[in-house]
Structure 1
Amino acid sequence: MNARVRRVLEYDKMKEQLKAHAASSLGRQKIDALTPYTDLAAAKKEQERTYEGTKVLRLKGQAPLGGIRSIYAHVKRAQIGGMLHPDELMEVADTIYASRRLKSFIETMVEEEVELPLLLELVREIVPLTDLERAIKQCIDDHGEVMDGASPALRSVRQQIRTSEAEVRSKLEQLIRSSGQQKKLSDAIVTIRNDRYVIPVKQEYRTSFGGIVHDQSSSGATLFIEPQSVVQMNNKLREARVKERQEVERILQELSAHVQEHTDELVQNSDYLAELDFLFCKAYYAKAIDAVQPRLNDEGRFRFKQARHPLISQEEVVPIDVELGDDFSSLVITGPNTGGKTVTLKTAGLLTMMAQSGLFLPVDEDSEAAVFTDVFADIGDEQSIEQNLSTFSSHMTNIVDILQHINHTSLVLFDEIGAGTDPTEGAALAVSILDYVYQTGAKLIATTHYSELKGYAYNREGVMNASVEFDVDTLSPTYRLLIGVPGRSNAFAISRRLGLDENIIQNAEKEIDAENRQVEKMITSLDEKRRDAEQEMTEAAQIREQAEELHKELEQRIQAWNNQKEKLMKEAEEKAEAEVKKAQQKAEDIIRDLRDLQKEGYHVKEHQFIDAKKGLDEAAPKLTKRQKQIKKQAQKAQSFSPGDEVRVLSFGQKGQVLEKVNNKEYQVQLGIMKVNVKAEDMEKVKAEPVKQPSRPVTTVSRNTHVKPELDLRGMRYEEAMHKVEKYLDDAVLAGYPQVHIIHGKGTGALRKGVKELLKKHPSVNQTRDGGMNEGGMGNTVVQLK
């Protein structure tokens, strides 16, 4: 697919949109090199990579791509023995950290049972290089400066520098504060010239201080003099700075040598980071243009439903349905200028190239795209001024080149084929060219003004007419593509709307031959039938929608009635059981009194007690067979969802529903056991209201950024501790009784640090590890005071 085709189909403009979502220059370089794949397997793999990227964004909201730098030049210079600057070394360290964080991010998602095979394949090849990252960050700070702690020698020499500077400044400040010397100074300050401390002295007093003149003001009235009394001290300071520079260079050379040892791994990591940045760039772009994954085939068949051109704003674009390669392999589009024919052509071509590049498409679900070996296009006025070619000659030059290269795996797009010459000859030539393309087996979409081509599709199998709709009432195009209907002439209708004399219009109609009038009548009839069919479809859809709403409402009413019936039955049972228990308790009291009387000497036989107790037990109401059946059906009708608290009747224990096994059974967590339980053997347990701890309540507007959980995964230790402290304060102000600190499992260092901090924090009441459904050891649940 040559550069000219990519330009006329605006593929390069689309890539500029794509670049806006790249996180680094590595990703942008990959986009610059992007071209459509011509192999179905390769295109499908790229589509799957994009799909995995969109899955990550859907589940996590974003991917941690910050810190990625292009370090190829740095690594190359280190490889040949060059010394890297501190900021270059920090870019190396930042890139190592970014690769390690992204690797951990993807691997953690896979551990959480998210299927990301292609992403996992990429990140598994990343080498962490933690030692190199640590060595650089122990020597260079975030501002790109070599730290004192980089070596004992550097710490010592910098301490010497600070001491010498203090001595020099102290000596000069004593000098400028002297009342006898102040009149000789232009200003009572100590400044620096040529890396030496000096004072500003008036020109006429230049000999009063001795020493060295380093500079003068632009007027010459002020000299910057290093007094003789501090020359030796400044010399000592200068020597210390030379030692500092030498030690810094030694440290940088040592770090550069460390980078040199890992050049292969760093280049490999950068290659994989470029792939990952590019992959997520495609995912972000898909989200931005509301795109979906198309099915791919290599059979020359595409079907774009509600397709939108990605370069036209969503507020202005009119979605179209366009298809090719199934019932017909050639599509001829007719219609007025500015009606959308060229946009339709470009949309079909650009979406095809995007699909072959592994990009999602701005279309509806269930759309399909084809993988072609070549896409050819002759669109727009491509005449060459240098060659002095006319419009027709320019188009014909392009068409000749296209016809020499097409085959059955090509997609060909012709805009205004045959235009720019005599209409009769142009139409005849257009028909012949279309026939030639059809015979090669290539897939074709062509636009034209010629009325002779309106009947083209009716005489040839595998060719379909289409048109862009025009609203005569508003005298404007609707930009809708109508497949199966050729474009009708609107000249007479528009003239009538604009008020042209009817006699003139009728005389013009007589000039058109009978065959053309018959074609126009046929097209008009087809257009009217299409409008009627669309109206009937709209009405049918409305009726269906109303029926579905009515059905849904009836289902809700039936469910509400069943729930009410069940509730009343349960209340009646509970009331009856309460009355019986009350009567039994009263009877027990009477029997106890009788026994007390018996002990006091009254004669009461034992079998009388037994008969009385048996009669009380038999007085309890029994459920009828019908009531038992209704109760059993009500238990069966209960539906349970994962996470529901239930009581297993046969065990008499409470548990939590994990998942639905089938229509009759659920998997339930009972203590440390997981058991399959029938629905009829369970009942839901009503959740008891959580009692809030009694404490003063501060009314605070809960900001949207204060969430009930804090995710620390991927953060450095110091950053994480700072985040936890700030978050706990925000959570207390927001009024949260409980929050979750998500630190992951990892090496355990971050988890241990969080636990220690929480023990000492005054706002923390108690902590516990997360449950099975709360992330386990990777999550700490915090009860706040």
Structure 2
Amino acid sequence: MERVLRVLEYEKMKQQLVEHVSSSLGRKKVQELAPSVEIDEVLVWQQETSEGANVLRFKGRIPFGGIYDITPHVKRASIGGLLSASELMEIASTIYGGRQLKKFITNLVEEEERELPLLYQHVEQINPLTDVEREIKQCIDDNGHVLDSASQTLRTIRQQVRSYESSVRSKLEQMTRSSSTQKMLSDAIITIRNDRFVIPVKQEYRGSFGGIVHDQSASGQTLFIEPQVVVTLNNQLREAKVKETREIDRILAELSRQVAEVTDELLTNISTLAVLDLIIAKAHYANAIKATSPEINEAGHVLLKKARHPLIDAGEVVPIDIELGGEFRSLIITGPNTGGKTVTLKTVGLLTLMMQSGLHVPVEEESKMAVYKQVFADIGDEQSIEQSLSTFSSHMTNIVQILDKVDFQSLVLFDELGAGTDPTEGAALAIAILDDVYKRGAAVVATTHYSELKGYAYNREGVMNASVEFDVQSLKPTYRLLIGVPGRSNAFAISRRLGLGEAIIDRAKDQIDSDSNKVENMIVSLEESKKSADAEQIEAKNIRFEAEKLHRDLQKQMEELQREKELILKQAEEEAEVAVAKAKEEAEFIIRELREMQKKGLAVKEHEIIDAKKHLEEAAPKLTPKQKKIKKQAQQAKTLHPGDEVKVLSFGQKGSIIEKVNDKEYLVQIGIMKMKVALDDLQFIESSKPVETKPLTTVRGNESHVKPELDLRGERYENAMLKVEKYIDDALLAGYHSVSIIHGKGTGALRKGVKDLLKRHPHVKAARDAAMNEGGLGNTVVELK
């Protein structure tokens, strides 16, 4: 397997992948990455990568910062080792980073309702460990320095250290500034030697300061002396620093012990974060190479649409279409050298290994790939001088090893099968090897330049010819793969383009037997048919696309016409109803006058009045079934729900539905007012954002839970006004005669707003500032009517 990974450049692909990891944990996982042969595992890996890619599409990023490989630190702490401040800081940072990642994925799943089952399952294993993180960060800063606040003892010791350092520096600065001693110094500075403060003294004034010589310059002309006057202070400083070191070690030991107590949880976090780093790196890599997740099967069916080799520059690579395992399991590719045959082999092999490693592959959507138990490849020049093997011998040695292991769950890639020996024997060997591998049920892709293999596929069931296209006009390969068309010899055409005489070319043609000519002519015909079919297919796709677009446009126009028709019918119906209503009103007026005339003794018969009214009612428009349906739909459309935005027609004001009172009335919120409004007086307003409302709280007399005071402190002004309005209604229903509204003093804006609202409220009898023992200016006492 190692040789196959090497010849298919799997390690080079991993070098691209490792550029997208976020930590050393992910780098290690990439180094360990290898293809799986279990389809269930491959499917899970592919789904993980898809979820990672979805997160990148939703959010554009995945937080994965501040995470380290703390495995050595944790294991050393578990056996009683002392961790350094920087190591402890890396542990705290990793705990925090893991918790942030868990929060990020959890929010996507629980709040935004994204489907990320596998990522969610992984982050669920991350332990928060907030106590350990907090303890470490309280003692150590981000730079790995133990803080004074780590312990009271350390704070006291460091104060002593600073005091001693200040005293030593003060005395030495007096010396360096003194005019009498400056001439004795090489430089008027204070420096440190052997962790003690010293001054640079000229050699000839060595005895003028006393004390201890700690160092001298390279020339010997300057001595670094600790003057006698500061020796005692330096000793005290040294002792204080020793105490400081001991206290720091004690603090680090205590933190290391706390880390040791959660060894298992930390190791679980590290393992989970390593897996997540690899998943996220796969997702980033998929975006970088424009890869997709193929449909995966165990049936050996491969259909790669516009496949691209990931190691070839995106601006240069030519996408190819490859099919294998459907009607045929063996694909024989022929064509000129440097035409792209080997690249085709490597593309199939590398993309298979990538897919079985959980990576998305650079192909178009709806591509299909098979999971193989074994992948074999015989590609490239394997000549070995050390073993005295020729190219043919080396290839044959490798092929023998392949034939010993190949079975029906294998993918075999042969490059220039049978090359390096006599053409007749090489071609015969190639045919025999291909037959043997095919009988074992393996999938095979082989390249060759032997003309004998061009007719191989026509004599074998389940075998298909293919070729790499060559442009005779430009004398360059196009790198396109043509399935079903064997490669033809271009020697004569190329020679003619290069200027070789026609007489020579004609004599050369005479040397080729008629069967070979027939094969070449057949190949030419196949190529032309293939190009024609491809062109017609593209044209058919374009026609179908235009037809589908036209169908959609017509359907849209029909829907718009139907809506216009229904609108016109509705308007006509409304106009007719208005006209009839007006006529009824006039008729009722006339009937009342007739009755008055009847009362006065004039000759008007009752049955005439009844007949007139009946005829008038019959004048109302009769709705057709279609109109009745439209009217019914209109009535259904009037069904309103809590939160819907409406317009109260009688007031011309907008509001929102709170709840349905009955079939004909709704409780509506207009500003700070609530009122019952008839359904016919409401017009529904389309809203892009649903209004979130809560059902009205029902208050029942003294059984309610309404408190005698309302606390508005911390509320925004608009919310506070709404709460006051509702509270007064609830207090009235609860039977209170006096309540308190606590608004605090603050800037006075909330207090003023409450006062203004209470002044104009119809159910407020009076409002006053509370007494000092009641809260003073921060409280308003309200008397209710």
TM > 0.5: yes
Q: Which whole-Å CA distance do the structure 2 matches of 1:688 and 1:127 have between them?
A: 40
- Give the superposition deviation at 1:4: 0.5
Aligned match of 2:387: 387
- Give the superposition deviation at 1:577: 11
SS of structure 2 residue aligned to 1:145: coil
Aligned match of 1:39: 38
Native 8 Å contact 1:566 1:634 kept in 2: no
Give the alignment partner of residue 655 of structure 1, picking from 617, 640, 644: 644
SS of structure 1 residue aligned to 2:125: coil
Matched, 1:368 2:357: no
- Give the superposition deviation at 1:88: 0.8
Q: Which whole-Å CA distance do the structure 2 matches of 1:326 and 1:545 have between them?
A: 28
Aligned match of 1:198: 198
CA distance 1:120–1:573, shift in 2 (3 Å): same
CA distance 1:552–1:631, shift in 2 (3 Å): farther
Native 8 Å contact 1:647 1:685 kept in 2: no
CA distance 1:569–1:220, shift in 2 (3 Å): farther
Q: Which whole-Å CA distance do the structure 2 matches of 1:518 and 1:407 have between them?
A: 37
SS of structure 2 residue aligned to 1:478: strand
Cα deviation, 1:49-95, whole Å, max 9, x if unaligned, reads 22222222222222222122111211222122211111111111111
Native 8 Å contact 1:648 1:655 kept in 2: no
Matched, 1:528 2:517: no
Task: Give the aligned residue type for 2:101.
Answer: L
Q: Which whole-Å CA distance do the structure 1 matches of 2:66 and 2:342 have between them?
A: 43
- Give the superposition deviation at 1:560: 6.2
Native 8 Å contact 1:378 1:413 kept in 2: yes
Q: Which whole-Å CA distance do the structure 1 matches of 2:584 and 2:249 have between them?
A: 96
SS of structure 1 residue aligned to 2:66: coil
Task: Give the aligned residue type for 1:258.
Answer: Q
Task: Give the aligned residue type for 1:507.
Answer: R
Aligned match of 1:91: 90
Aligned match of 1:275: 275
Cα deviation, 1:283-335, whole Å, max 9, x if unaligned, reads 22112211111122222222111111111122111111111111011110001
Task: Give the aligned residue type for 1:175.
Answer: M
| Correspondences of 1:543-582 after superposition (within 5 Å) | 543-554=543-554
Q: Which whole-Å CA distance do the structure 2 matches of 1:506 and 1:651 have between them?
A: 90
The aligned length equals: 644
Task: Give the aligned residue type for 1:80.
Answer: I
Q: Which whole-Å CA distance do the structure 2 matches of 1:292 and 1:283 have between them?
A: 10
- Give the superposition deviation at 1:179: 2.6
Native 8 Å contact 2:25 2:68 kept in 1: yes
| Correspondences of 1:217-232 after superposition (within 5 Å) | 217-232=217-232
SS of structure 1 residue aligned to 2:400: helix
Native 8 Å contact 2:638 2:684 kept in 1: no
| Correspondences of 1:153-232 after superposition (within 5 Å) | 153-232=153-232
CA distance 1:23–1:581, shift in 2 (3 Å): farther
Q: Which whole-Å CA distance do the structure 2 matches of 1:625 and 1:570 have between them?
A: 10
Q: Which whole-Å CA distance do the structure 2 matches of 1:224 and 1:153 have between them?
A: 34
Native 8 Å contact 2:55 2:62 kept in 1: yes
- More deviation, 455-464/55-64: 55-64
Aligned match of 2:703: none
Task: Give the aligned residue type for 2:209.
Answer: F
Is the radius of gyration larger for structure 1 or structure 2?
A: 2
Aligned match of 2:13: 14
- Give the superposition deviation at 1:359: 1.3
SS of structure 2 residue aligned to 1:369: strand
SS of structure 1 residue aligned to 2:405: coil
SS of structure 1 residue aligned to 2:180: coil
Gaps of 5+ in 1: 586-610, 639-645, 658-668, 676-680, 690-758, 767-785
CA distance 1:654–1:270, shift in 2 (3 Å): closer
SS of structure 2 residue aligned to 1:396: helix
Aligned match of 1:151: 151
CA distance 1:86–1:582, shift in 2 (3 Å): farther
Matched, 1:500 2:489: no
Q: Which whole-Å CA distance do the structure 1 matches of 2:122 and 2:51 have between them?
A: 12
Q: Which whole-Å CA distance do the structure 2 matches of 1:378 and 1:569 have between them?
A: 77
Native 8 Å contact 1:186 1:200 kept in 2: yes
CA distance 1:579–1:177, shift in 2 (3 Å): farther
- Give the superposition deviation at 1:648: 5.5
Aligned match of 1:444: 444
SS of structure 2 residue aligned to 1:100: helix
Gaps of 5+ in 2: 586-608, 647-655, 663-679, 690-745, 754-785
Q: Which whole-Å CA distance do the structure 2 matches of 1:275 and 1:106 have between them?
A: 14
| Correspondences of 1:650-729 after superposition (within 5 Å) | 650-651=639-640, 655=644, 671=658, 685=685
CA distance 1:634–1:356, shift in 2 (3 Å): farther
- Give the superposition deviation at 1:531: 1.4
Native 8 Å contact 1:647 1:653 kept in 2: no
SS of structure 2 residue aligned to 1:441: coil
CA distance 1:316–1:167, shift in 2 (3 Å): same
Aligned match of 2:598: none
| Correspondences of 1:69-84 after superposition (within 5 Å) | 69-84=68-83
Cα deviation, 1:465-485, whole Å, max 9, x if unaligned, reads 111111112211111111111
Scaled by the length of structure 1, what TM-score is found? 0.75
Q: Which whole-Å CA distance do the structure 2 matches of 1:173 and 1:574 have between them?
A: 102
Q: Which whole-Å CA distance do the structure 2 matches of 1:261 and 1:688 have between them?
A: 53
CA distance 1:549–1:88, shift in 2 (3 Å): same
RMSD: 3.7
| Correspondences of 1:725-764 after superposition (within 5 Å) | none
Task: Give the aligned residue type for 2:333.
Answer: I
Task: Give the aligned residue type for 1:445.
Answer: V
| Correspondences of 1:61-140 after superposition (within 5 Å) | 61-112=60-111, 113-140=113-140
Q: Which whole-Å CA distance do the structure 2 matches of 1:89 and 1:688 have between them?
A: 51
| Correspondences of 1:344-423 after superposition (within 5 Å) | 344-423=344-423
Native 8 Å contact 1:648 1:683 kept in 2: no
Scaled by the length of structure 2, what TM-score is found? 0.75
Aligned match of 1:642: none
Q: Which whole-Å CA distance do the structure 1 matches of 2:168 and 2:567 have between them?
A: 92
Task: Give the aligned residue type for 1:29.
Answer: K
Cα deviation, 1:484-536, whole Å, max 9, x if unaligned, reads 11111111122222222112111111111111111111111111111111222
Native 8 Å contact 2:21 2:281 kept in 1: yes
Q: Which whole-Å CA distance do the structure 2 matches of 1:623 and 1:182 have between them?
A: 119
Native 8 Å contact 1:408 1:443 kept in 2: yes
Q: Which whole-Å CA distance do the structure 2 matches of 1:687 and 1:407 have between them?
A: 64
Q: Provide the identity percentage.
A: 59
CA distance 1:500–1:571, shift in 2 (3 Å): farther
Q: Which whole-Å CA distance do the structure 1 matches of 2:334 and 2:581 have between them?
A: 87
SS of structure 1 residue aligned to 2:383: coil
Aligned match of 1:698: none
Cα deviation, 1:31-52, whole Å, max 9, x if unaligned, reads 2112111112221122222222
- Give the superposition deviation at 1:438: 0.9
Task: Give the aligned residue type for 1:220.
Answer: G
Native 8 Å contact 1:46 1:357 kept in 2: yes
Aligned match of 1:294: 294
Task: Give the aligned residue type for 1:66.
Answer: G
- Give the superposition deviation at 1:581: 13
Q: Which whole-Å CA distance do the structure 1 matches of 2:557 and 2:218 have between them?
A: 93
Q: Which whole-Å CA distance do the structure 1 matches of 2:581 and 2:185 have between them?
A: 107
Task: Give the aligned residue type for 1:278.
Answer: L
SS of structure 2 residue aligned to 1:331: strand
- Give the superposition deviation at 1:624: 7.5
- Give the superposition deviation at 1:432: 0.8
